[in-house]
Amino acid sequence: MQKTFDQMLSEAGATRIVDTDTTPHTIIPCNVVLEPNTHQGITRVRVTARDKDFNLLWGVNMSEGLMP
């Protein structure tokens, strides 16, 4: 069963994810980028994670209905 990084941290008693063995998970240094995005008159925020060369790792469009 796979575990989240939070679960691995709490079991290991570590305070930083790099202090634990996360195999086969891989830690990728990245930047979280917030970009305004308006589509069909609805203002959204596009949230993306990008690597050190700003290549896209993942992204999501957040609208008001998705925010807590």
Helices (H), the chain: 5-12
Residues 8-57 have pLDDT tens digits of: 777 766 666 666 666 666 777 889 988 888 878 877 888 899 988 889 88
Q: What was the pLDDT predicted at 18?
A: 63
Span 60-65, average pLDDT? 75
- Between CA 65 and CA 30 the distance in angstroms is 27
Q: How many other β-carbons are positioned within 10 Å of the β-carbon of residue 33?
A: 13
Q: What is the pTM of this model?
A: 0.52
| pLDDT value at 1 more than 60 | no
Count of residues making up the chain? 68
Strand partners, 56: 50
**Radius of gyration over every alpha carbon of the chain, rounded to an integer in angstroms:** 16
- Between CA 31 and CA 56 the distance in angstroms is 10
